[in-house]
Amino acid sequence: MATIKINEISKDELLWQIEYNSDRCTLCGKCVAACPFNAIEASVEKRRKVINEDSTPAPKVKFQTVPVIKQNINIKNFCRGCGICEKVCPNESIKPVRNTDEKFAMKVRAYTGDSYKRGGRNNLHTMPRALDKIKIGRISQMTDPSLDAQRHTFEMLAPFGRVLPPEQLPLTELNGQLELSKNLPPVRWIYPIILGDMSIGALSGRMWEALAIATAYMNEELGIPIRMCSGEGGMPVRLMKSRYLKYMILQIASGHFGWNRIINTMPEMTEDPAGILIKIGQGAKPGDGGLLQAKKVARHIQEIRGVPKADLLSPPNHQGLYSIEESVQKMFLSMNAAFKFRVPVAIKVSASVTSISVYNNLLRDPYNIVGGFFLDGIFGGTGAAHEISLNHTGHPILSKLRDCYLAAVHQGKQGQIPLWAAGGLGMNGNLAADAFKMMCLGANGVFTGKLLLQIAGCVGNDHGKCNACNTGLCPVGICTQNPVLVKRLDIDKVAENIVNYFIATDQEIKKLMAPIGNSSLPIGRSDALVTIDSSIAEKLQIQYAC
């Protein structure tokens, strides 16, 4: 009886299995060269073949050694299902096939004694999204005519900054005109979608640059006042000294990566940044700090962040901040002071059961320095995380956003600290509808990250495809610093695709504003929404319809 090695990983346990057709393969080698994970390699197989060399039947058995492409079977060079081999194959002779019987992550834990890590999103998402069960149901008909999405003018601007209640405005009347008697907290009116905070490091320099180019283009050429958040990882000095800085929101997170250079560059800045975003947590891995593995800390990343080549772990918490009051006093004050109170400072947290308490506290902001509350839900993406965090921690964004808005309403303070929400928006490919519904539920605006990567060419999905952002081997050059892989990404094309996507999104938002008869954003217009799910209706306080 033959022996087998039960305790070694085998092909039937892998996430993906390579389906290879040697009859079609021309052995060009493109797939092997293109696979960044070394999941396949050139190999040989012994083949038994029955042949006939005579003119009359005289079958002979012949053994041949034929060159083939073979899947590697180990826990390091395993196939992620990215499909790059299939993309490059001229003959459709190779492709990854999902293995529904896989046990891979379990095996990795068992072999390495380490938690399983990957990038992407929560992959346990199998239920339809609550957002998709909500429709824009209050369509103007005869009582209040619908507008014309093409011909009417629409104002699509959202506040970023601390909005004071009217009774606190230092207004004095002079000859029937009101005048302001002192300076007030800065508020910027920007497009209601912010390009999400993804750092240089998590992203390749090319990907990040393409986002920055798209941002500048939309502002300067299209008049779409969109802003981009740097992510925690600093920014190129050239950009900080340029006029384009005004379109950038600088992020500071618990690792403070990149801030040394930001501070040193301040005297040379010719424009103020659009804002500062203090990141406390993110939706994809709440309560967990950032994780940039050493293999992604390339030379230029070391320079921008001011760090050596090593695993870069942002602590799960900002050191020294133990309460909301402290954060307001220390971080908010120092960040406001850094730019002499000219730049709005906002905060981003993971959506959590406690979000309302945090928001309630911030709303009582005694110093008028909290310029925005960013809430990030469970379906946000990440470059790298422990899978257990990705799959099993977090809070859906929808009800949390609504709860926070209604908490503000309860205090009579809605709009004073603008609410921005994210976490899986645009997951179904349409950001406009998601953004619109979030605004109706009380968000002043939304932010988006993962969607941008998908527009750029990310091949991953939420069903275990690719999800290799953590490896530094992104097969499409988005989440890697590998000089060969990043060249796969065409910066200009990515920027163009993102710009086009937002032109379409802008149109689509108008196509939703027009039927409800609004020419300005429908913040808090929950009366415009209906849902076919009574439990969603009850939770979000919107109309149930069937």
Binding site for another protein (CB under 8 A): 140, 143-145, 147, 152-153, 155, 157, 159, 163-167, 169, 171, 173, 176-180, 184, 187, 189, 409, 411-412, 414-415, 516-520, 523-527
Q: Exposed, middle or buried: residue 511 (CB in 10 Å: 0-12, 13-18, 19+)?
A: middle
Nearer to another protein, 176 or 267 (CB): 176
Nearer to another protein by C-beta: 39 or 421?
A: 421
Provide CB contacts within 8 A for 320, sequence distance 6+. 326, 330
Which has the closest alpha carbon to 373: 382, 364, 381? Answer: 364
- The token duo for 186 is 């800065």
Residue with tokens 């994809």: 284
**CB closer to another protein out of 212 and 408:** 408
In the complex, the smallest distance separating the C-beta of residue 369 from another protein, rounded to whole angstroms, is 16
CB of 528 to another protein, least distance (A): 8
* Shortest distance, position 277 Cβ to another protein, whole Å: 20
The residue (of 34 and 523) whose beta carbon lies closer to another protein is 523
Compute the least distance from the CB of residue 290 to another protein, in Å.
Answer: 33
User: Strand 529-531 to strand 134-136: parallel, antiparallel, or no bridges (unpaired)?
Assistant: antiparallel
Whose Cβ is closer to another protein: residue 32's or residue 226's? Answer: 226
Specify the DSSP class assigned to residue 56. S
Q: How far apart are CA 25 and CA 314, in angstroms?
A: 46
N- to C-terminal Cα distance for the chain? 64
Shortest distance, position 542 Cβ to another protein, whole Å = 10
Beta bridge mates, 70: 41
* Residues 17 and 99 sit within 8 Å (Cβ to Cβ): yes
Q: CB under 8 Å to 472, separation ≥6 — which residues?
A: 293, 295, 296, 479, 480, 481, 482
Task: State the Cα–Cα distance between residues 267 and 543, nearest whole angstrom.
Answer: 53
- Give the list of residues 6+ apart from residue 192 with CB closer than 8 angstroms, or none: 156, 157, 158, 435, 439, 444, 445, 446, 521
Q: What minimum distance in Å lies between the beta carbon of 517 and another protein? A: 5
Q: In this complex, which beta carbon is closest to another protein, that of residue 67 or of residue 165?
A: 165
Q: Which is nearer to another protein, 204 or 416 (CB)?
A: 416
Note whether 349 and 277 are within 8 A (CB): no
Which residue, 155 or 538, has its beta carbon nearer to another protein?
155
CB of 398 to another protein, least distance (A): 18
Closest approach of another protein to the CB of residue 418, in Å: 10
Rounded least distance, CB 282 to another protein, Å = 28
The CB-of-508 to another protein minimum distance in angstroms stands at: 19
User: Do residues 449 and 282 make contact, with C-beta atoms less than 8 angstroms apart?
Assistant: no
Residue nearer to another protein on the CB measure, 96 or 517: 517
Cβ pair 135, 536 in contact under 8 A: no
Shorter beta-carbon distance to another protein: residue 176 or 366? 176
List strand residue ranges (DSSP E) for 387-442, in order: 419-422
User: Residue holding tokens 């492409």?
Assistant: 69
Instruction: Give me 35's structure tokens.
Output: 């696979």
Token pair of 272 as six digits: 């103020």
What is the nearest approach in angstroms of another protein to the Cβ of residue 340?
Answer: 18
Cα–Cα distance, 148 to 514 (Å, whole number):
6
Query: For another protein, which is the closer residue by CB, 345 or 469?
Result: 345
Smallest gap from Cβ 177 to another protein, in A, equals: 7
Assigned token pair, 371: 């310029």
Q: Report d(CA 343, CA 339) in Å as an integer.
A: 6
Burial class of 534 by CB neighbour count within 10 A (0 to 12, 13 to 18, 19+): exposed
Residue closer to another protein by CB (options 146, 329) is 146
Q: What is the dihedral of CA 455, 459, 465, 470, to 10 degrees?
A: -90
